Amino acid sequence: MANTHGHKPSVKIGAGAVVCVEAEIRGDVTIGPRTVIHPKARIVAEGGPIVIGECNLIEEQALIINPKVGEKIDKNSGTMTIGSHNVFEVGCRCEALKVGNNNVVEAKALVGRNTELSNGCIIGADCEITSKETLPENTVIFGQSCNRRVQAERPPPQTLQLDFLMKILPNYHHLKKATKPKADK
């Protein structure tokens, strides 16, 4: 993951990703292909790098942050990985180190640092989950007291919404340019 220029870690945007200029992306962030990042979304990698997979949808005022804990910046364990086909709705906040595929973090939800989302989890609106655990697959967390239940199947992927946004957003916003993908070690 060595950056040949050396002084500042950069943002690597995959081909086909739609990232609006108004989105704030700081630190070492890798964004996969066909991901849509709305304006005013914030991806802040201060404690370590963030790797985002493909076909994700990150909406306005969502905050995906890899926070700095203390003074140490540990490159190896501090990487936040987010899989593919996830949806981060408006105003949510995600600090989890590992997020799998097909998860939905609904509006104004909070996922703490110690939690890990596997696949197909849905964190309901305004729910906070900060316990140190890995949520089993297809878990739904909802309600004021954060009730849980397990779904039979994972939530359907938002392909229709992604296609629509990839057509419409470039009409109204300037986009950040895609960078050439670097070969992984």
Binding of other proteins by 149 (CB under 8 A)? yes
Please pick, from the candidates 151, 159, 161, 167, the single residue that binds other proteins as defined by CB under 8 A.
Answer: 151
Which of residues 9, 39, 112, 155 is near other proteins by CB under 8 A? 155
Residue 137 as a binder of other proteins (CB under 8 A): the answer is no
Cβ–Cβ under 8 Å, residues 61 and 76: no
What is the CB-side half-sphere exposure of residue 51 using CA atoms within 13 A?
13
Answer for the pair 123, 109: CB distance below 8 angstroms, yes or no: yes
* Residue 48: C-alpha distances to residues 69, 96, 165 (Å): 10, 12, 29
87 near other proteins (CB under 8 A): no
Q: Which of 166, 92, 106 is nearest to 142 (CA)?
A: 106
Q: How far apart are CA 131 and CA 7, in angstroms?
A: 37
Question: Which residue lies nearer to other proteins by CB, 51 or 90?
Answer: 90
Counting residues that bind other proteins (by CB under 8 A) gives 14
**Shortest Å distance, C-beta 183 to other proteins:** 40
Task: Compute the least distance from the CB of residue 142 to other proteins, in Å.
Answer: 5
Nearer CB in complex with other proteins: 116/126: 126
* Listed ranges 39-47, 82-90, 135-143, 158-166: which one lies at the site for other proteins (CB under 8 A): 135-143
Cα angle, residue 154 at apex, residues 89 and 150 outer, rounded to 5°: 100
Per CB under 8 A, residues contacting other proteins are 122, 124, 136, 140, 142-143, 147-153, 155
